[in-house]
Amino acid sequence: MSTRTSYLAGKVRVAAFGVFATLTLNFFLFRVLPGDAVSSMARVPDGSVELKEALMRQFGLDKSLWGQYLDYLAQLAQGNMGVSYASLRPVTGEVLAALGNTVPMTLLGIALAILVGTTTGVVAAWRHDTLVDSIISNVATVIYSAPTQWIAIMLILAMAQYLPVSGASDPFAFAADAWSVAIDRLKHMILPSLTLALATFGQYTLVTRSAVLATLGDDHVAAAKAIGFPVRRILTGYALPNALIPIVTLGALSAGTVVGGSVVVETVFSWPGIGRAMYDSIIQRDFPMLQGALLVVTVAVILINLAADIVNMKLDPRIVE
């Protein structure tokens, strides 16, 4: 087996372990809950013990813990994450629909954050130990220190007259052609994505700055300098590529933070995504939904990290040794 394959196999094994740990944790976390949904559902007028037992059987809560766990794994393997207590619809469909709303908004935010973060980071490294560097680094740190929900509310206070601040589309829109629907959606996306970008770009700035700074001292950069290439070419063509590995790795590690940020953003802006679904299901004690959302979110983050490992291997084949 080549070193590449064994490196990949190792990474896949770690990811698989992570997914399995998540499944298990996700199951047992919810079994120690006080206040089950059935007792509140059975608390209707004239609710009898029989009704409660029937509900328990319906949701499979009468089996032993171990039996429930095996049931859970078997059902999950078939893509069944149970039925939402609140909407009585399959969780899988609900979660995937929510995920479909989350992904474009988050991607836009992340793209903005990475664009701003790497640019400012490269500039700060280039101008290192100058006033420019000091301003960039400190502003990035201060903005990164602000709570996401606070940035969101401040943006609403400032921008509510100009941009929609709630939901993913205008419920009273008349035009139904694809173009105006897309424009409407994009308008609704601006503030949530901007919040997410503001809340996360600081870490990309700081990581890029130190990674690029470390490569600026390399021989090949000195050689490029000696040849007389323009600054832009040296930075983007020679210094940045070698600095990409820490940036990609930390970018993937920050996926967890970004997911957390999007939960907050979606709650503030009523964006019908997976974070909003988590918040709603906590309020409604809708555990299958919460469980499904947490599972999908965690597995997504684990997969992003696996992808980052593979990208890093492409960027620097030496990494496998």
Nearer to another protein, 51 or 99 (CB): 99
Nearer to another protein, 90 or 256 (CB): 256
- Residue 274 CB, shortest distance to another protein, in Å, is 9
Nearer to another protein, 123 or 244 (CB): 123
Residue 26 tokens read as 């996700």
Nearer to another protein, 55 or 259 (CB): 259
Burial zone of 93 (CB within 10 Å; 0-12 exposed, 13-18 middle, 19+ buried): middle
User: Quick count: other Cβ atoms within 10 Å of Cβ 26?
Assistant: 18
Nearer to another protein, 197 or 221 (CB): 221
- Residue 59 CB, shortest distance to another protein, in Å, is 18
User: Quick count: other Cβ atoms within 10 Å of Cβ 154?
Assistant: 13
What is the C-alpha to C-alpha distance for residues 209 and 56, in angstroms, rounded to an integer? 56
Q: Where are the alpha helices (DSSP H) in the chain?
A: 3-29, 37-41, 49-58, 65-77, 91-126, 131-145, 148-159, 178-216, 219-227, 231-233, 240-253, 255-269, 274-283, 287-315
- Residue 63 CB, shortest distance to another protein, in Å, is 20
Binding site for another protein (CB under 8 A): 14, 17-18, 21-22, 29-30, 32-34, 125-131, 133-134, 141-142, 144-151, 153-154, 156-157, 160, 213-214, 216-217, 221-222, 225, 231, 234, 253, 255-257, 259-261, 263-264, 267-268, 275, 278-279, 282, 290, 293-294, 297-298, 301-302, 305
Residue 241 tokens read as 């590529």
Q: Of the candidates 264, 316, 50, which has an alpha carbon nearest to the alpha carbon of residue 152?
A: 264
- Residue 101 CB, shortest distance to another protein, in Å, is 16
- Residue 133 CB, shortest distance to another protein, in Å, is 7
- Residue 2 CB, shortest distance to another protein, in Å, is 23
Nearer to another protein, 158 or 183 (CB): 158
What is the C-alpha to C-alpha distance for residues 49 and 71, in angstroms, rounded to an integer? 25
> Any idea what the Cα angle at residue 266 is, between residues 261 and 268, rounded to 5°?
100
